[in-house]
Chains A and B, each alone.
Chain A
Amino acid sequence: MLLEIKNLHVEVEGKKILDGLSLTVKGGEVAAIMGPNGSGKSTLSYVVAGREDYEVTEGEILLGGENILEMDASERAAKGLFLAFQYPVEIPGVGTMTFLKSALNAQRKARGEDELQTPQLMKRVREAANKLEINQDMLKRALNVGFSGGEKKRMEILQMALLEPKLSIMDETDSGLDIDALRIVAQGVNALRSKDRGFLVITHYQRLLNYIKPDTVHVMAAGRIVKTGGPELALELEKNGYRDYVSEAA
């Protein structure tokens, strides 16, 4: 099992946000999570990625069978975890290229691999950027600073393509993307799909799932998974909304 979350309870400032959440993602699987605003989807993604301001009061998170709860965010990344942020963070003064090089080499170093030299790296970045139709000029700017909403999301996928994670969590990567960008981003994700890799795709819209076909769809409400099904579940939600599930969770 690639990702295994067992009975996860998470609090922030004494407020319970995740309430006994369990979930698995297998190698090769694309799992979608849908759920109302405030149900805890982003919190889940942050906790898995290793953000410290959330308190895990109970439960386990295993990545490739290994408990990652005690690991630093950077160690989790080196183990193949990637989070495409719902709101990518602007980093003034840090050039995008400098950042990509630091990230890639930090992970390689942590895994005992050789560092990439700048020319090699530039080539890889350019190729990946071309595929995602990312303007080369953007690579010269400070990371995410002044990028449009859609540009930020593409930059997340560029990082994902370069880092080749085992498990990618995509938190509303589709929101803010225009129709063409949605297709391009989906192609980027589909290109990474393989029997070893898994994806956890958080979205509000069934439309994304037309491009990235999920194997599993989970419904999340009030901090836990309340229903799991196949792609047809997303269609049903699109039609009926969450009313059946919200009352069930409460």
Chain B
Amino acid sequence: MTNEITQIRTPAEKALISLYASEKDRLPGSAAVKALRGEAFAEFERSGLPHRRIESWHYTDLRSQLREAAPLFEPGSSEFEDSLRHVQPGVPAGYALVLLDGIFVPELSDLDELPGSVTVRSLADVLATGDANLVDRLAPKGLGAGDPALSLNAALMQGGVVVDVAPASELDKPLIILSIMSAGAIHAAYHRSLVRVGAGAKLTLLEIVDAVEIGSNQQNGVLVLEIADDAEVEHLTRISRQGADAIIVRSLLATLGANCKYDGFALIADGGLVRRQVFLRFDGEHSTAGIRGLSLLSGKRHADTTLVVDHAVPHCTSREYFKHIIADEAVGVYQGKVVVRPHAQKTDGGMKSRALLLGDSATMFNKPELEIFADDVVCGHGATVAQLDEEQLFYLRSRGLPRAEAEQLLLEAFAAEAVEHVQNEGARERLMTYVSDWLAARK
């Protein structure tokens, strides 16, 4: 007898169990990797799909939301070229690494142009050779341990890229990890990538989640980001062109060495249910991390941003800054936890999450949390949920701006406060254009 509660399996959980059973021999990996997959899946089976009684998933009950677990896509090469052609126009200039339905496609990636300072390997190849060191790094210890979505990804990961950026190097253009879902029947993709930024290197990394056709796909993607001492990384994530039934889980597992600078910004503007989770740990002193983002939600969309920022060493600075514009019956979730370990003195932490609700049916759950075990720290947080200010609206309207235009002006200003932290100029401008278009389309 065990004291575990026997859960009733949902249809999606049953489907995932049979999916794993039928795919496990086909999924890439050495014997050792296959064993790890098995362990990860056993862990997933124990927890089941994340549900509201798991604290970190309290507001996003994937167990009840995921009604059907979609099968993996059978890659048919003729559709590959076609798929990319549909996505290319929206992709900014840079070195693109393309994941199609979770599988790295070298033929569609800009490998030939890529300077020698960047090496790219296919995750599938790395798993097949079973390089123990690399396999280890694909799941950094202590980051997101026990998270059911991460376990599921570790069991089912089909592909991805393993990227090494040479120390002290700097790319002339951003590196792009472009994750596309192809058109066709509802399908799922599980992918994991590892980007290691060498000491003193500078990198702009764009993570774009896109689709050939707006559809109801399911994806669970993980990015492991290892930033060595003195490196500087700007990391921009965009989740767009996803249907109102699409279910997207993205996890970032980041570790920072000493004297690093990390600036992340995520735009969540699409998808039916989006869960973005960031687990970031400072492993070296005097590093700074900015984790920021903007969610634009309408219809019945649900977007959850959950962060755990671990100040494991002294003298580091973190800034979390999120804005949410929530219209119609959409639901926004922000859970930000900043942990300051007992010896992490001189930590400087500041967290803000501000939501604007447009209309009475929109909902925001805002939960910033500080867990401070050191005494010599400066940490603060603020979370607000508000509506547009009627006084401001009246002032603008009295100057001739129709209500919709007045609202747009105020909302753009609200969003801009977050977007202006993006350093890459092209990306910043594209983001603001995206925001303006999104707001204009709302009217």
Which residues of A are interface residues toward B (Cβ below 8 A)?
49-51, 53, 72-74, 76-78, 82-83, 85, 88-89, 91-94, 98-99, 102-104, 106-107, 110, 142, 159, 163
Contacts and interface: CB of A to CB of B under 8 A. Distances in A.
Interface residues of B, number: 22
Contacts of B401: 74, 102-103, 106
A99 B409 contact: yes
B394 A91 contact: no
Contacts of A89: 391-392, 394-395
Contact of A159 (B392, B399, B402, B406): B399
Contact of B398 (A53, A83, A91, A142): A83
B396 interface: yes
Nearest to A45: B398
Contact of A72 (B395, B397, B416, B417): B397
Interface of B: 390-392, 394-403, 405-406, 409-410, 412-414, 416-417
A-B complex: 6 closest residue pairs judged by Cβ atoms = A93-B413, A107-B400, A77-B400, A103-B399, A89-B395, A73-B397
Nearest to B397: A73
A83 B410 CA distance: 20
A94 B409 contact: yes
A92 B413 contact: yes
Given A89-B391, A93-B414, A106-B405, A163 B397 contact: no
B394 A93 contact: no
16 contacts: A53-B390, A72-B403, A74-B400, A76-B398, A89-B392, A91-B395, A91-B396, A93-B410, A93-B414, A94-B410, A98-B409, A99-B399, A102-B405, A104-B400, A110-B400, A159-B399
A91 B392 contact: yes
Contacts of B417: 93
A142 B399 CA distance: 16
Nearest to B404: A74
A73 B414 contact: no
A98 B408 CA distance: 12
B324 to A, nearest CB: 16
A72 B410 CA distance: 18
A78 B400 contact: yes
B398 A73 contact: yes
